[in-house]
Amino acid sequence: MKSIMKLGRMVSLAAACMMVFSAGTLSADQDDDDHGQFHFRSNQYPDFQNKQYPNVYNDLLQPVVTAIDYHTRVIYLFNYENDGLIIVDPLSITGWPGDVPLQHTGVLPGGNVVYITTDNTELHSSYIVALRVDDIDWNAGTVALSVESVLVADNPNTPAELPFVEQVNDKQGVPDWIFGRGTQLHGFTLLPYTNYAYLAEWSADKIRVIDLETNSFASADPIIIPGFTEQTHGVTFNPSGTIGLGTGYYFDNSIIDVYEPNRETGELQVVGQIQLGDEKRHAAFTHYVYWLDERFALTASMQFDKTSLTLPTTKKIIPPSVWLLDTHKGTATRIIDATKHVNGRGVFRSPSDLTVANGKLYLAEEDSIDPTFGEDGYISVWDLTDRYKPRFIKRMKPGVELPQGYAVAHTISPSADDRYLLIASWVSGYVLKLDTHTDTIVKVWGPADGLVKPHGLFSAGGNR
């Protein structure tokens, strides 16, 4: 399949506004430079060294991964070096806005500021809470947190604005969790070499922008672009922070949005859209993207088959698959197909998250939008020596490499050096530490440690 329109190298991105791209395949003369797999890690964020936070920054990147619990509404801090775990009841923090459902987290590289997002309720707005880490003692398992700011994103009792969708066959389910009860703030990401962070008001088609120096909404907030910001789970930026990609986290959304950020104001300028497939055959429902380098990124689709939202002209929904995105040419190439067998060399369950470490691609395969919900979950590993032809290595299974009863491998958060991956299951209550040198699980946090529904992992030193 040839792309509908080609953008070429993005020197002047703004001029390409409103272009729509379609899936592409390699041709003999395809330009294929920029193959280095550079995983962005940066300390170019607000000046932590001028702030005296004892036992927190000390001029070193902190080995901390943050998360929340959907059910118990606590905050988790994991230490991926010494396997520490600290659980915080946010109601014990002075200035916390109330007993609210938690959603996503973010943490700055120094580990000295943690961000928590909350869902809208009948009594509360959805909030973005910035917590200063005044002290942390992993040996004692204690942390002192102070509220730096509480940003109010909406009004209480704001309903979700998601399209109504129904199941139409026995191949594609429509689970209850997809219908948001109110505004939800997802996908905390950082714009490299700036003071801006981004979140997606997923259920209201907005991108929220935070100024990290002032912990206030930036002048560009909120970003609402009809036809682009719908059902976005978040905008993730390439290593230099010159291009951002937004996913379509909903049924029958087959589009990856391409933006150019304004590094002075935080605004997003539309560049175009990349379609996974074409109008007749396309893949849909993408959660995250992973940047391989300045130009190429990977994403994975979750949808199995048609729903009530599928257009009559669509002949087929391409089952769960992995796609290589070329942001210079505006094309998407399918590099891993689906498989119907647990030992098959393809995507078995919906891949909700993905990352690359030590030349290998890791997929969190979850069982969350199948006709049956949450029965199992897997982690598959692929050799990515040839990014166009990943080679299947293995699929880690519940009761074998993974805990018995493990289900819905939802989020992957790599350590700053890519040595470890922390992988969360909000359905079965586990966070796993995977050693990327051996591809084995070397630490399990689970129900015995107090975990119930962990979600929203974010590693200090990462940009999403």
Residue 229: band (very low, low, confident or very high) from pLDDT cuts 50, 70, 90: very high
Residues 6+ apart with CB under 8 A from 58: none
What number is the average pLDDT over the span 307-312? 96
CATH code of residue 91: 2.130.10.10
Structure tokens at 111: 């580990």
Structure tokens at 436: 């990327």
Number of H helices, E strands in the chain: 0, 31
pLDDT digits over 118-158, tens only? 999 999 999 999 999 999 999 999 999 999 999 999 999 99
Higher pLDDT, 332 or 204: 332
Q: Does a structural domain hold residue 29?
A: no
Q: Does a structural domain hold residue 31?
A: no
**DSSP string computed for 237-251:** E-TTSS-EEE---ST
CA pair distance 276, 292, nearest whole angstrom: 18
pLDDT exceeds 80 at position 225: yes
Cα R_g (the chain), whole angstroms? 21
What number is the average pLDDT over the span 168-175? 95
Residue with tokens 């730096």: 148
Task: Report which residue type is found at 41.
Answer: R
Residues 6+ apart with CB under 8 A from 153: 120, 125, 126, 127, 128, 183, 185, 201, 208
CA pair distance 221, 265, nearest whole angstrom: 10
CA pair distance 443, 441, nearest whole angstrom: 6
Higher pLDDT, 13 or 430: 430
Report which of 187, 230, 188 is spatially closest to residue 206, judged by C-alpha positions: 230
Ramachandran assignment for 284, one of left (phi > 0), alpha (psi -120 to 50 degrees), beta (any other):
beta
pLDDT exceeds 50 at position 38: no
Angle made by CA atoms 151, 155, 161, in degrees to the nearest 5: 110
Residue 370: band (very low, low, confident or very high) from pLDDT cuts 50, 70, 90: confident
pLDDT exceeds 50 at position 35: no
Antiparallel, parallel or unpaired: β 127-137 and 113-118: antiparallel
Q: Does a structural domain hold residue 179?
A: yes
CA pair distance 368, 149, nearest whole angstrom: 34
Beta bridge partners of 420: 435
pLDDT exceeds 70 at position 47: no
Report which of 456, 9, 463, 20 is spatially closest to residue 236, judged by C-alpha positions: 463
Count of CB atoms situated within 10 Å of the CB of 462: 23
Q: Residue 48 phi/psi, 5° resolution? A: -70, -30
pLDDT exceeds 80 at position 77: yes
Question: What torsion, rounded to 10 degrees, do the Cα atoms 27, 359, 188, 405 define?
Answer: 110
Q: What is the pLDDT of residue 98?
A: 96
Residue 1: band (very low, low, confident or very high) from pLDDT cuts 50, 70, 90: very low
- H or E segment at 438? none
pLDDT exceeds 70 at position 360: yes
Q: Does a structural domain hold residue 196?
A: yes
Q: What is the pLDDT of residue 192?
A: 95
What number is the average pLDDT over the span 8-18? 32
Residue 23: band (very low, low, confident or very high) from pLDDT cuts 50, 70, 90: very low
Q: What is the pLDDT of residue 177?
A: 87
pLDDT digits over 394-426, tens only? 999 999 999 999 999 999 999 999 999 999 999
pLDDT exceeds 60 at position 53: no
CA pair distance 164, 161, nearest whole angstrom: 9
pLDDT exceeds 90 at position 350: yes
Residue with tokens 């923090």: 93
Q: Does a structural domain hold residue 374?
A: yes
CA pair distance 353, 300, nearest whole angstrom: 7
CA pair distance 324, 256, nearest whole angstrom: 12
**61 burial level (CB within 10 Å; 0-12, 13-18, 19+):** middle
Q: Domain range spanning residue 85?
A: 13-24+37-459
Q: What is the pLDDT of residue 61?
A: 60
Q: What is the pLDDT of residue 372?
A: 86
Q: What is this structure's pTM?
A: 0.88
Q: What is the pLDDT of residue 82?
A: 94
Q: Are 366 and 426 in contact (CB under 8 A)?
A: no
pLDDT exceeds 90 at position 341: yes
Q: Does a structural domain hold residue 64?
A: yes
Q: What is the pLDDT of residue 123?
A: 95
What number is the average pLDDT over the span 102-126? 95
CA pair distance 271, 12, nearest whole angstrom: 9
Q: Does a structural domain hold residue 301?
A: yes
- Structural domains of the chain, count: 1
pLDDT exceeds 50 at position 48: no
Count of CB atoms situated within 10 Å of the CB of 373: 15
Q: Does a structural domain hold residue 452?
A: yes
pLDDT exceeds 70 at position 9: no
